[in-house]
Amino acid sequence: MQIVSFDVEGPWAHLAWWPADWSQFLPDLVNTAVVGALVGVGLWVVQTQATKRERRLLAERQWNHVRPLIHATAHPMTREAELAFWREGAWAVRDAVRRLDLVMLTDALPDNDEIAALATLDRDYPELDHLTMSLSNTVYSAIERHPLVRRSADFHAVQVATQALLLGVDIEPLPGSGRISILRAARAVVEDVRGEAAKYLSALDSYERAYAVLSRSQ
């Protein structure tokens, strides 16, 4: 019987019992994983910053293109004896806003006060519009029920005077003979609608502050 023997001497002898030493295997594996994770995080940070810069540049180009149009339509808003006085300026601004991606602009340019104001106007418009319609209807109904309103001419005068009192603006000249009764009726209507008027005025104040940011920048 022939016996075959293997020579473990020579250049391959060190592989005979691989791995000869496991003491460095886990530390090397951990080091490799940590280095790989750090490199991955670094690449992600660089890529994220580059993406943000690109989005910011795109947003700035879009905003600089539309900004003159926004300012041209945002005329200073002045209160009048009409609850819906704010709508004219709002419609013009909303028409211009349709050209913008406000979500993208707000995210890319978070420190831009004008864009933030536009976002507020766009967000608050539906609520203010609803409150304006609701309060107008309530005022109309309250005047109809008031015993001091005798003639159709008085109805319009009381309606205008009521809105002027609610908005804190000057009341237009009233007929001398019926002036006292018109003012008394208007003040009584204001008391009747005070709760609903408070919600309207709060929404209006917020809307006016945002709108003022645009009109001041002209």
What would the pLDDT profile of 85-96 be if each residue is shown by its tens digit?
999 888 888 887
Domain assignment present for 69: yes
- The number of residues making up the chain comes to 218
Q: pLDDT by residue (tens digit) across 50-76?
A: 566 777 788 888 888 888 888 888 888
Domain assignment present for 6: no
Domain assignment present for 3: no
Domain assignment present for 56: yes
* Cα gap 177→93, rounded to integer Å: 43
Q: Angle at Cα 141 formed by Cα 121 and Cα 182, nearest 5°? A: 100
Domain assignment present for 82: yes
Higher pLDDT, 185 or 23: 185
**Average pLDDT along the chain:** 80
Q: Which long-range contacts (CB under 8 A, 24 or more apart) does 96-100 make?
A: 96/66, 96/69, 96/70, 97/70, 97/121, 97/122, 99/66, 99/69, 100/62, 100/63, 100/66
Domain assignment present for 15: no
Residue 98 DSSP class: T
Domain assignment present for 32: yes
User: Can you tell me the mean pLDDT for 134-146?
Assistant: 93
Number of domains in the chain: 1
* Cα gap 217→116, rounded to integer Å: 13
pTM of the model: 0.72
Domain that holds residue 59: 26-216
* Cα gap 12→18, rounded to integer Å: 11
Domain assignment present for 39: yes
Token digits of residue 73: 């339509």
Helix and strand numbers (H, E) in the chain are 7, 0
Q: State yes or no: pLDDT of 15 exceeds 60.
A: no
